[in-house]
Amino acid sequence: MKGRVIGGVGLLLSDGDNVMTAIAELPAGASVPADNGAIELIEPVSFGHKVALESIHRGGDIRKYGEVIAEATQDITTGEWVHTHNAESRRGRGDLSPGRDR
Amino acid sequence: MMQFQGYKRSRGPAGVRNYVAVIPVSVATASIADTVAARSDHAVRSTPHQMGGDPPEKTREQIERTLIGVGRNPNVGASLLLSLGTETTDYNKIIDGIAAFDRPVEHISVHEAGGTAATIETAVDVAQQLVGGIAGCQREACDVSDLRFGVECGGSDATSGIAANPAVGASCDLLVEAGGTACFSETPEFIGAEHILAERCPDPAVRERLLSFVDARESAAELMGVDMRGAQPTPGNQEGGLTTIEEKSLGAIAKGGTTPVQDVVSYADELPTGAGLVIMDTPGYDVESVVGKVAGGAQVVAFTTGRGSTTGNPIVPVMKVTGNPTTARDMSSNMDVDVSDILDGESVASAGNRVYETLIRVASGQQTAAEQRRLEEFAINELMPNELAGEPA
Amino acid sequence: MSSLQEMDEQRPEDSTFEVFEPNASGVGLRRRLLVVPTVICSHIVADHIAAGVEGAVSIPHDHGCAQIGADHEQTERTLLNLSKNPNVSAVVVVGLGCEHLQSRPFAERVEAQGVPVRELSIQGVGGTDACETQGVELARSLVHHNRPEKVTGSLDDLTVGVISSDLNASTVQTGAPLVGRVVDRISASGGRVIVAGTERLVPHRSVVTDRVTDSAGEGWLLDRLDELSMYPGKSQSISTRAAGLSPDAVIGHWGSGPIQSVLEHGVPPEDPDGVHLMDSSSRFEEAATGLAAAGATVILHLTDEGITTGHPVVPVLKISASAKSLEAVGTDIDIDARKETPPGVLRRLIKIADGEPTAAETHGMTSFALSRVGPSM
């Protein structure tokens, strides 16, 4: 498949991604090898979900597949679960454009 | 594999099934169509839908184009059109459109037949005659380049973009290389990845069409004044790890493979044969999207799913492909190909070969899980009045 | 039924008849166990489940996913309110598992309305085979709610829905005035009436200001007409003909009394009686579904075009004044409006309330459609 498996637990789809996708149910404390030493998960991350490989500021880009997939809605720490609670889309945002009030 | 065992037709490419389609012109005859199919030979298939009998012009044109496409699908040997008799949807146009492909087409109108009970009785008889008329058609060796392979994703999760879609994409590449047509759609699921697809359009006109279709779909969210979440991505997508439409799209486009995008067509437009990779503009909505490709003439559909969608289609075999090991295990009775070994190191090319081999076997008669269970969902994408705003009221 | 044999020729509306013992939702004229798919992807499984249980019906629809905003909300609201129609004894909710309209929370909302309910999802139980088997078991565990105990009822127990799906000449001249007089008499007897079909008012805003007595409803409706005026109508012939007719002509079948409240699509009125207007297209399948969600237990369908289908939840009495349609599909029409009188229609309505099948219930074909207000995503 695209990308490479890291530590047997995660998938990095493209170098330059700042998140990794869990390919197992990962408990808090699980360790993932990274360029500057290991990253420790600060919380559990479910199969298929993402872990931050570096800290990301609020408003910052979240990158997967070598592309921007979301924007951080709050500061994110390395090893944190990344999903709808701290990341959102920049597309299809009809709520931000002047829509009809119905 | 360069051949499959198919049903040759006098016009258009070969089919992989040989059905009599019972086609209601509007919702007013949909339950009659279902009843006729239920009382008939298993080769009689109903294509029920909920379209009204007096729709706005553009909506009506899309309904007519879709129903003509259903009747012309290579898997349909003959059609029985059921009208109420008072719809504005033009059943003569539909009949002519199907007949132009040398397929037998009969028509019964409830008003001319003398009411509902009489229609059901007559329709069952006519369907039986049509079955007899196409029974002589036998499978023979056909070239895979006759195939128009539709690919779809539904109930997606993170494994879709990592495993199932790339595997199906590899099978599309194989078919394209062998001279066939592969078609993917679901335009809202290009949002965030459209620039990648755009770069794969050798023809600038095709590229422009693609980008304008994506723009139109994204504007639908603005039309409703809300963001797309819940619909794109769905709760199931999100539970499965997909956070945004961009992430979903980047995984979704993999299902079309890696070859250039040769053409972009509209919902239910006829798909070219032997044309390589083609995109059809459809909603992401699974059943409507599959029906668009079926109306375009796709004979087989591969449908990737992470969470476990179980839908099929009445006239086209739908193969379910999953890359999620839990789904492959827990819902094995509804899945056709398990490619979750990709997560353990199986190469995409190897999994793609397995999908392609299944495609050929299904084309040659092997029943999919959905076919065995008669899971045959059908719906037409309705162009809504507010989508058409700006047209004369 | 001895009570029916005593029906007064001139005042059948004073009769009593048999109705089902009321449930949490009210007085029902039929008893159906409803199998509700939350999304199109589970509707065939829902159909298979209903087919396996006597007294169960499914409501196959094409939506529940890929809808956003007000469109999604309307689908959910309509399905929820359908579940508490008085003709519905109990509900089995069937989901796929990944859809926007999630089945478990939906079932909880149904339960909160006092309706006996069970829920399952295809993905939750491991596939369609298991879902059909378990779905049938769950339905069988609830089917005792269909028990046939009956009590005495009268017209004031009914909520009658009224639809006219065309504005053909014979509808306007003959059918609508007949139905209008019937509506007046039902209302005078304490029965509740809900009329539906908004687009015909776009060129006739005076109807709203003259007839609607609820000022908030009036304001809402006028805004709604502003919105509808921007789009093509879902029933083209209604939209094109309404402008050329007088206000009274387009709403003759609504009776002569005031419109007590305006309802959003699929929402029941608060008052137990009076005449109410529900926002809907005039497409029969959408209006009937919306009226069933709004609590109608029987529907009068004025159809010169001779649409013959009934509805899975609510008995539909077909009324036509079209010589052509009566000739063509007369066996599927209950009332020939050219020949019938208001007492005649009321007599037929009461017999149907009492349990006699409508023409549509006799052939069994139905139409069901959720009304969309936005595009598929």
What is the DSSP secondary structure assignment for residue A20, as one 8-state letter?
A: E
> What integer pLDDT is reported at residue A99 of this predicted model?
45
Look up residue A55 and give its two tokens: 């800290």
Instruction: Give B162→chain C minimum CA distance, Å.
Output: 19
Task: Determine the Cα–Cα distance for residues C174 and C253; give it in Å rounded to an integer.
Answer: 10
* pLDDT score of A98: 54
Partners of residue C227 in chain A, C-beta under 8 Å: 100, 102
Dihedral of CA atoms B283, B286, B288, B292 in degrees, nearest 10, equals 80
The band of C158, judged by pLDDT with boundaries at 50, 70 and 90, is very high
Of A23, A48, A94, nearest to B221 by CB-CB distance is A94
Q: Nearest Cβ partner of B228 from A11, A87, A92?
A: A92
CA distance B97 to chain C (A): 24
Give the DSSP letter of residue B257.
-
pLDDT band at residue B310 using 50, 70 and 90 as cut-offs: very high
Q: Is B307 touching C (CB cutoff 8 A)?
A: yes
Does the pLDDT of residue A77 top 70, yes or no? Answer: yes
Q: Is the pLDDT of residue B229 over 80?
A: no
Question: pLDDT tens digits for B4-33?
Answer: 999 999 999 999 999 999 999 999 999 999
Nearby residues of C303 by Cβ (< 8 Å), 6 or more positions away: C164, C165, C166, C284, C318, C319, C320, C325, C333
pLDDT at residue C255 greater than cutoff 50: yes
Mean pLDDT of the region C277-289: 97
What pLDDT sits at residue B393?
39
Q: Under an 8 A CB cutoff, do C100 and B309 touch?
A: no
> CA distances (Å), C131 to each of B60, C99, C190, in order?
36, 16, 44
Considering only CB atoms, which chain C residues are within 8 Å of A102?
A: 69-70, 227
Q: Which pLDDT score, from 0 to 100, does residue A97 have?
A: 63
Q: pLDDT value at position B120?
A: 98
What chains are in contact with C, requiring at least 3 Cβ pairs below 8 Å?
A, B
Question: Which residues of C are less than 8 Å from B311 in CB distance?
Answer: 40-41
Inter-chain touch B333–C309, beta carbons under 8 Å: no
State the smallest CA–CA distance between residue A15 and chain C in angstroms: 31
Among C3-7, C32-36, C137-141, which stretch is predicted with the lowest mean pLDDT? C3-7
d(CA B252, CA B184): 10
Q: If pLDDT is split at 50, 70 and 90, which confidence band does C5 have?
A: low
Q: What is the mean pLDDT of residues C320-347?
A: 97
From the list B153, B127, B125, B150, the residue with the least C-alpha distance to B42 is B127
Give the pLDDT confidence score for residue C375 in this predicted structure. Answer: 85
Q: Is C243 on the interface with B (CB under 8 A)?
A: no
pLDDT band at B388 (very low <50, low <70, confident <90, very high): confident
The predicted pLDDT at position A1 comes to: 66
Q: What pLDDT score does A34 carry?
A: 78
Give the strand pairing for C316-320 and C335-336.
parallel
Average pLDDT for C50-71: 89
| Banded pLDDT at B219 (limits 50, 70, 90) | confident
For residue B228, the model assigns a pLDDT of 76
* DSSP 8-state class, residue B389: B
Q: Which residues of chain A neighbour B345 with C-beta distances below 8 Å?
A: 5
Provide the pLDDT for residue A92. Answer: 80
**Which tens digits make up the pLDDT trace of B131-145?**
999 999 999 999 999
Average pLDDT over residues B283-312: 96
- The whole-chain average pLDDT of chain B stands at 95
**Which residue in the set B226, B229, B250 is minimally distant from A69, CB to CB?**
B250
For residue A3, the model assigns a pLDDT of: 84
pLDDT level of residue B207 (50, 70, 90 thresholds): very high
Q: Distance, in angstroms, between A100 CA and closest chain C CA?
A: 10
Which chains have at least 3 CB atom pairs separated by less than 8 Å from chain B? A, C
Asked if the Cβ–Cβ distance from B330 to C285 is below 8 Å, we say no
pLDDT, position B389: 78
Task: Say if residue A102's pLDDT is above 60.
Answer: no
Put simply, the answer to whether B228 touches A23 (Cβ < 8 Å) is no
Among candidate residues C293, C377, C304, C294, the one with its CA nearest the CA of residue C336 = C304
Task: Give the chain A residue whose CA is nearest to the CA of B248.
Answer: A69
Query: What pLDDT is attached to residue C233?
Result: 93
- pTM of the full structure: 0.95
**% chain B with pLDDT above 90:** 91
> What is the helix (H) or strand (E) element at residue C162, kind and residue range?
strand C159-164
State mean pLDDT over A4-20: 92
Cβ <8 Å between C232 and B112:
no
| Alpha carbon of B328: minimum distance to chain A alpha carbons (Å) | 15
CB contact under 8 A, A94 and C69: yes
Residue B73 has pLDDT above 70, yes or no: yes
For residue C62, pLDDT over 50 is answered with: yes
pLDDT at C275 > cutoff 70: yes
Q: Can you spell out the DSSP letters for C303-345?
A: -TT----B-SSS-EEEEE--HHHHHHHGGG-SEETTT--HHHH
**Mean pLDDT computed over C323-351:** 97
User: What pLDDT was estimated at residue C101?
Assistant: 87
Q: A101: pLDDT confidence band, cut at 50, 70 and 90?
A: very low
Please name the residue of chain C whose CA is at the shortest distance from the CA of residue A99.
Answer: C69
| Among candidate residues B277, B262, B319, the one with its CA nearest the CA of residue B173 | B277
